[in-house]
């Protein structure tokens, strides 16, 4: 099982890596407060549309009615098949959960 790194260990590791980077001559660039990564202060609009045109929706009421009709047909057929004259065994139990007799229904 792999032990997860604690936050303290992660902080210590990041601090060591930062110190190693700086000791090898690396530098950290200072960024002014309020500076932004946006080009000319605006979003790149090629990636998304802020106000898309509303698309026409296809009404599905007729299709849903057909699906519901097929479902009701299936359930009617299934109940007709289940209502056969086949008898089934049913066990009758007493108050203590012991089987008393078997009855055909």
CA distance 15 to 7: 12
E strands, the chain, are 89-93, 99-104
**What is the distance between the alpha carbons of residues 49 and 55, in angstroms, rounded to a whole number?**
14
pTM above 0.85, yes or no: no
Strand partners, 92: 101
* Cα–Cα distance, 35 to 29 (Å, whole number): 13
Write out the chain's pLDDT in tens, 105 residues: 788 999 999 999 999 999 999 999 988 888 888 777 777 766 666 666 666 677 788 888 889 999 999 988 887 777 666 666 778 899 999 988 899 999 988
Distance CA(73)–CA(37), nearest Å, equals 61
């Amino acid at each position: 099982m792999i032990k997860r790194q604690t936050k303290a260990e992660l902080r210590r590791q990041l601090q060591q890596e930062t110190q190693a980077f700086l000791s090898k001559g690396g530098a950290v660039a200072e960024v002014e407060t309020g500076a932004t990564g946006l080009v000319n202060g605006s979003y790149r609009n090629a990636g998304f549309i802020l106000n898309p045109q509303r698309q026409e929706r296809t009404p599905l009421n007729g299709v849903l009615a057909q699906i519901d009709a097929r479902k009701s047909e299936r359930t009617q057929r299934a109940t007709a098949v289940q209502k056969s004259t086949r008898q089934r065994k049913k066990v009758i139990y007493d108050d203590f959960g012991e089987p008393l007799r078997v009855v055909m229904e």
